[in-house]
């Protein structure tokens, strides 16, 4: 993963709480640059007339974007991507993503599925997924379907602090940090989600982990390690 350029971290708090005052997951999203490319001198041609751009309306649905396929495994092809929620409702609990694979004769030959990493997906938010398909399946093209069941879960934010990122001896990319509980209630089972992108903004990694301590008291923090 030496060529990764951005990293997204999502912190999700599950629905299991000691206090009934909280009925939400926890989401915090930000981007971290990993590798910078030295800028190059570019010769700019003489200006020419450019028509006024026309804005493209956003879709009114949950869609799959930023797809990539990793074929390096001997057993599986790994289909990575994002689900972006452009609909008018929150999606969940654990929205399912289905992949349909077709042959050159446009015949459906295989169906597989997985779930997004976030426990639910609010309006305007996105989450990564990975679907494993057996190498034995020979496909020509594929389509996706997203489960559109709604949910009433709400979000609160927990910040991530003391971030560090490095490669270990096995050349695996590691993210270290702390999750800080800035709420007035105890939080339990906090999940950290990492999404890796290549230079074309396609997803090439989607992993999650839980914090070191299952319970975080107000104004305290606990560490996490994401590989």
The residue among 57 and 138 whose pLDDT is bigger is: 138
Average the pLDDT over each of 52-56, 97-101, 129-133 and give the range with the smallest value.
Answer: 52-56
- 201: region left, alpha or beta (phi > 0 left; psi from -120 to 50 alpha): left
CB contact set of 15 (below 8 Å; sequence gap of 6+): 23, 25, 119, 153
pTM here is 0.72
Contact 17, 190 (CB under 8 A): no
Q: Confidence band (pLDDT; 50, 70, 90) for 120?
A: confident
| Second-level CATH architecture of 62-146 | Sandwich (2.60)
pLDDT for 93 equals 80
Residue 136 reports pLDDT greater than 80: yes
Of the pLDDT bands very low, low, confident and very high (cuts 50, 70, 90), residue 22 is very low
Q: Does 19 have pLDDT greater than 90?
A: no
pLDDT tens for 149-175 read: 876 666 677 899 999 989 888 888 899
Instruction: Kindly tell me if the per-residue pLDDT of 137 is higher than 90.
Output: yes
Extents of the domains making up the chain: 62-146, 158-194+206-226
33 vs 19: which has the higher pLDDT: 33
What is the per-residue pLDDT across 182-215, written as a single tens digit (0 to 9) for each? 999 999 889 999 999 999 999 999 999 999 999 9
% of residues, the chain, pLDDT over 70: 71
- The residue among 204, 215, 211 whose CA lies nearest residue 175 is 211
Token pair, residue 7, equals 């990293």
């Amino acid at each position: 993963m030496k060529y990764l350029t951005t990293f997204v971290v999502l912190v999700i708090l599950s629905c299991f709480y000691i206090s009934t005052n909280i009925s939400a997951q926890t989401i915090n999203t930000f981007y971290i640059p990993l590798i910078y490319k030295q800028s190059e001198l570019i010769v700019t041609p003489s200006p020419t007339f450019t028509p006024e751009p026309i804005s493209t309306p956003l879709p009114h649905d949950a869609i799959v974007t930023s797809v990539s396929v990793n074929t390096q495994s001997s057993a599986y092809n790994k289909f990575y991507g994002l689900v972006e929620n452009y609909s008018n409702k929150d999606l969940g609990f654990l929205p399912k993503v289905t992949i349909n694979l077709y042959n050159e004769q446009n015949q459906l030959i295989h169906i597989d599925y997985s779930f997004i990493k976030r426990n639910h997906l609010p309006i305007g938010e996105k989450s990564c997924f990975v679907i494993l398909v057996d190498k034995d399946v020979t496909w020509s093209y594929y389509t996706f379907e997203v489960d559109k069941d709604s949910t009433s879960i709400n979000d609160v934010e927990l910040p991530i602090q003391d971030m560090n990122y490095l490669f270990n001896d096995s050349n695996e990319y590691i993210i270290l940090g702390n999750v800080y509980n800035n709420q007035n209630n105890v939080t339990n089972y906090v999940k950290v989600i990492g999404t890796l992108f290549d230079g074309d903004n396609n997803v090439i990694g989607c992993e999650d982990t839980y914090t070191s301590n299952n319970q975080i008291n107000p104004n305290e923090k606990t560490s996490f390690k994401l590989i």
